[in-house]
Amino acid sequence: MKRLIPTLLLVIICIGGFWYASSKDFFKETKPPAAALVKVNKDEVASFTIKSTDMEIELQHKDGQWAMTKPSAIPLDGYSADNWVESFNSLSKEQTVDANPSDLAQFGLDKPGLQLTVNLKNGESHTVSLGNATAIQGFSYAMTNGSKEVFQLSDSQLQLLAKKQIEFMEKSPIKFDYDDVRSLSVDWKGQKWMLTKSDADKKSYESDWKLGEQVVKGADAGSYLDTLQFLATDQAAKPAGEIKLDAPELRIELKTVDASKKEQTAVYQGKVQQDFVWVVKEGSPWAYALPVTAIQELADKGKETPTPDAAANPAPGAPAQPPTGEAPANPAPAAPAQPQTK
């Protein structure tokens, strides 16, 4: 029996090793990464379109700049259009469903619900058409122009491309660098406040600020600037000319300095329409719809009491500390000398 023990131990070790290797997929063949459906040089892209059954979005690329031409022009952010082209380049099929289908209607591709097209400067175009959802959840039938093949495409890839107009838009109308700010004034229906930087040579969080006549520490001043900087919309912007600003309810003045330390003032005015304040920067072609509640929150910042400096404002009842190197104003009387014991 003792002679069998080493053999049994060896068998147990082999079984354990095989089980471990199987659990780590050591015996599975690694699949090569799927090839991209389409590969375009983004510098050669002239335009792209997102066409659904009820909407068509078109963006054109010219002189290094993107502009939306359909359904209407809007102010674009600086990254979404380029990201869209990169996502288009990353599309890859999951598997072929039918290499030569006789009836595209069974896949919903006779009348695609969504078409994604990239047009190049040389006249070439690449289109990916999307049909019905497959029986496997999370996938749709798809095909490309110039090929009859129907394949599966994951919905997770499509989510990056099936964008709405608002998803390409710059949603924050007021942008600035905190360290460049010199003052901020807000006037909302007569409710006014002004924040002014005390030391222009310091960082915004290092300098003291003044809210009216009250001192605000740099760390606390950031919350006032945050409330302004974080104003954003979820509505499509309008041409500024469509908003009448003859009697604006909102006026914001933001004084900053440029790289040469030259002071400049940006003025924003706003007009209430239902639940939104349409805000226009002087000289800008666009008006942004900001919620009335957000503007009221900005106006109410002026009511906040700045956090007192603990050193300058000791807690009630605490004795005042004299400046370093000075004796207390009322020193305690010296203790009487004790007679020496003989």
Q: Residue 21: which pLDDT band, with cuts at 50, 70 and 90? A: low
Q: Alpha-carbon torsion 241, 242, 247, 252, what sign?
A: negative
Statement to judge: residues 187 and 293 lie in one domain? yes
- State the pLDDT at residue 294: 98
Statement to judge: residues 207 and 291 lie in one domain? yes
* Average pLDDT of the chain, as a whole number: 87
Q: 246-290: per-residue pLDDT in tens? A: 999 999 999 999 999 999 999 999 999 999 999 999 999 999 999
CA distance 41 to 120: 9
Statement to judge: residues 162 and 239 lie in one domain? no
Asked if residue 53 is part of any domain, the answer here is yes
- To the nearest whole percent, how much of the chain has pLDDT over 70? 80
Statement to judge: residues 110 and 198 lie in one domain? no
Statement to judge: residues 109 and 195 lie in one domain? no
Statement to judge: residues 192 and 151 lie in one domain? no
CB-facing half-sphere around the CA of 76: CA atoms within 13 A: 23
CA distance 5 to 11: 10
CB 249 within 8 A of CB 277: yes
CA distance 97 to 8: 50
Q: Does the pLDDT at position 340 exceed 90?
A: no
CA distance 179 to 185: 16
- State the pLDDT at residue 325: 44
Asked if residue 233 is part of any domain, the answer here is yes
Number of structural domains (the chain) is 2
How many angstroms separate the Cα of 301 from the Cα of each of 180, 243, 248, 304? 21, 27, 20, 5
Statement to judge: residues 182 and 164 lie in one domain? no
CB 90 within 8 A of CB 35: no
Q: Does the pLDDT at position 196 exceed 80?
A: yes
CB 220 within 8 A of CB 306: yes
- State the pLDDT at residue 219: 93
Q: Residue 324: which pLDDT band, with cuts at 50, 70 and 90? A: very low
Q: Does the pLDDT at position 123 exceed 80?
A: yes
What mean pLDDT do residues 304-322 have? 54
SS (H, E, C) 41-63: CHHHEEEEEEEECCCEEEEEEEC
Token readout for 98 is: 């039918």
What mean pLDDT do residues 202-223 have? 95
CB 157 within 8 A of CB 91: yes
Amino acid of residue 308: P
Statement to judge: residues 136 and 211 lie in one domain? no
CA distance 224 to 70: 37
CB 245 within 8 A of CB 280: yes
- State the pLDDT at residue 307: 73
CB 81 within 8 A of CB 59: yes
- State the pLDDT at residue 332: 47
pTM of the model as a whole: 0.75
CB 77 within 8 A of CB 66: no
Residues with Cβ within 8 Å of 119's Cβ and at least 6 positions away in sequence, in order, are: 45, 46, 47, 48, 49, 125
CA distance 211 to 294: 20
- State the pLDDT at residue 103: 94
CB 245 within 8 A of CB 229: no
Asked if residue 25 is part of any domain, the answer here is no
Statement to judge: residues 73 and 122 lie in one domain? yes
CB 266 within 8 A of CB 226: no
Q: Does the pLDDT at position 175 exceed 60?
A: yes
- State the pLDDT at residue 305: 82
- State the pLDDT at residue 112: 96
CA distance 93 to 245: 52
Question: Which residue is it, tokens 């190197």?
Answer: 325
Asked if residue 296 is part of any domain, the answer here is yes
Alpha helices in the chain (DSSP H): 4-23, 80-89, 155-158, 218-229, 292-300
Q: Residue 334: which pLDDT band, with cuts at 50, 70 and 90? A: very low
Statement to judge: residues 216 and 268 lie in one domain? yes
Asked if residue 99 is part of any domain, the answer here is yes
- Please tell me which residue, 76 or 94, carries the higher pLDDT value: 76
Asked if residue 313 is part of any domain, the answer here is no
- Residue 204: give the domain boundaries: 178-303
Statement to judge: residues 214 and 284 lie in one domain? yes
Statement to judge: residues 154 and 214 lie in one domain? no
Token readout for 93 is: 């099929």
Q: Residue 306: which pLDDT band, with cuts at 50, 70 and 90? A: confident
Q: Residue 2: which pLDDT band, with cuts at 50, 70 and 90? A: low
